[in-house]
Amino acid sequence: MNSAVGRLVRTELTLMKRDPLTLTFVFVFPVVTMLIIGGSFGTDPDPAFDGANPSHWYVASYLTVVVAATGLIMVPVHLASYRERGVLRRFAAAGFPRWSFALAQLVVGLVAIVASSAILLAVAAPVYGVPTVHDWPRVVLAMIAGAVAFVSIGVLLGTLLPSARAAQAVGLILFFPSFLLGAGGPPPNVMGSALRAIAGFLPLTRVTDAVRDPWLGVGTATGSLFVVAGLAAAASVLALRRSAL
């Protein structure tokens, strides 16, 4: 693992473990809020949750909160900070390939998502139980596509925004509405029509639908899966183009 990309990925994984923002938003926030919200509506099947156990609904939904926190907060702040401080120029001058940092961010983002998801499920299991996955291929495909899409969006934000502070502000502004309307807040069935319409436009809502519905067996969310796959393809291409060191 002594290639430039290998060394970069290994170093970035090490740094991820030391970053308070990442630890807070990617590893702690989803678990804590899942524990609180997941226990707020009981465990009896509820029509507001498409007939599912509300706790299980939130356990399935909160995997995508991890995806959003990684893509909208961790990656853009990290990347913008590197650009602002000249770290990327230093990497470029040292001969790291132009695409290597974006690829390293993608790998680190995906590792963060897998690790945080595992922690979330490990914490949820003894408290609410982990719901049975009805359609593994769709769930895995949706998680991968959603992760690629959001990490790529994060890379795009990190390359477009001028500073780490700007990236943090924009990231938080994008994250919380997405979190509340698209994954961790009230179910769409209890939202007003306006909020539901807004939620329908949010990428995170599509990712959550594509993961949760086949997981709980309340639908296939094929349309959302196509939207997420398309978003992943477009965002990753743009991210690689924008991320030249």
Binding interface with another protein (CB under 8 A): 2, 4, 7-8, 11, 14-15, 18-19, 82, 85-87, 89-90, 92-95, 97-98
**Shortest reach from residue 100's CB to another protein, in Å:** 11
> What is d(CA 25, CA 65) in angstroms, rounded to the nearest whole number?
9
The residue (of 15 and 237) whose beta carbon lies closer to another protein is 15
The residue (of 92 and 110) whose beta carbon lies closer to another protein is 92
The residue (of 197 and 244) whose beta carbon lies closer to another protein is 244
Query: What is the Cα 173 distance to its own chain's centre?
Result: 15
SS3 content of the chain, % helix, strand, coil (to 5): 80, 0, 20
> What is d(CA 152, CA 78) in angstroms, rounded to the nearest whole number?
13
Eight-state DSSP code of residue 132: P
**Shortest reach from residue 166's CB to another protein, in Å:** 18
Residues 164 and 75 sit within 8 Å (Cβ to Cβ)? no
Residue 135, Cβ density class (10 Å: 0-12 exposed, 13-18 middle, ≥19 buried): middle
Tokens of 121: 């499920």
The residue (of 82 and 215) whose beta carbon lies closer to another protein is 82
